[in-house]
Amino acid sequence: MKNLSLTFFKYRSYTPIPFLLVMFFYQDANIWSLIIGFLIALSGEGMRLWGVSWAGSETRTTGAVGGTFLIISGPFGYVRNPLYVGNILMYAGLGVMSNALFPYLQIGALLFFVMQYYYIVLEEEEYLKKTFGLQFEEYCKNVPRFFPRFTQYKDKSVLQPPFNFKAGLRSERRTLQAFSIVVITIILLRVLRTLSF
């Protein structure tokens, strides 16, 4: 179980690639799938950017699980894993945009990424429990793992880093570039398919 968690953690940046390739090859986008999918994907990217503006570049590690702060501010006050929830929304939105093999590819991808993040989170939570003890346990009691609560959890006793949007943008640069490239590719493939008829 631990080996699986660490493997998923290490390669989490690369696991979307097979789904992207299938999505590009079988894309069947239309105006509604493009609009609805883009809005879903954009909400996921927005959640990620909000999260990394609080958590900083520590979210970019690919070696060992770790972190300096127990972040409970911003989106972390609503859900314990906003970056992973953001990823799932982003991947789902891009899948809807492409309309490829709908709904089978989208459902398959959703199940895979939920499983992947579940195992990654188990490893991360083990570290957080050892590092932050009772503060983390209290946080877990009040904030769900993947399904956001309606009101923001707050605990003034937990030291937080400052919100830094510029640092968040720097940290999120690669994801924003990849997001833009995938969106543009889906639109171009749609235009080329339309022109070929």
pLDDT at residue 21, rounded to an integer: 96
Secondary structure of 6-18 in HEC code, one letter for each residue: HHHHHCCCCCHHH
Residue range 36-64: average pLDDT? 85
- 144-162 pLDDT tens trace: 999 999 999 999 999 999 9
User: Percent of the chain at pLDDT above 90?
Assistant: 84
What's the structural domain count of the chain?
Answer: 1
Residue 159 belongs to domain spanning: 2-196
Query: Residue 131 burial (CB < 10 Å; 0-12/13-18/19+)?
Result: middle
pLDDT range class, residue 5, cuts 50, 70, 90: confident
Under the banding of pLDDT at 50, 70 and 90, the label for residue 170 is very high
Integer Cα distance of 12 and 161 in angstroms: 25
| Contact between residue 97 and residue 20 where contact means Cβ atoms under 8 Å apart | no
Query: Would you put residue 186 in left (φ > 0), alpha (ψ -120 to 50) or beta?
Result: alpha
pLDDT at 9: 87
Give the mean model confidence (pLDDT) for residues 28-40. Answer: 97
Could you give the CA distance from residue 75 to residue 139 in angstroms, rounded to a whole number? 13
Region 186-193: mean pLDDT is: 94
pTM score: 0.91
115 or 68, which is more confident? Answer: 115
Which of 74, 81, 80, 17 has the alpha carbon at shortest distance from 50? Answer: 74
- Residue pLDDT, tens place only, 78-133: 999 999 999 999 999 999 999 999 999 999 999 999 999 999 999 999 999 999 99
pLDDT above 60 (res 61):
no
As a three-state string, the secondary structure of 75-99 is HHHCCCCHHHHHHHHHHHHHHHHHC
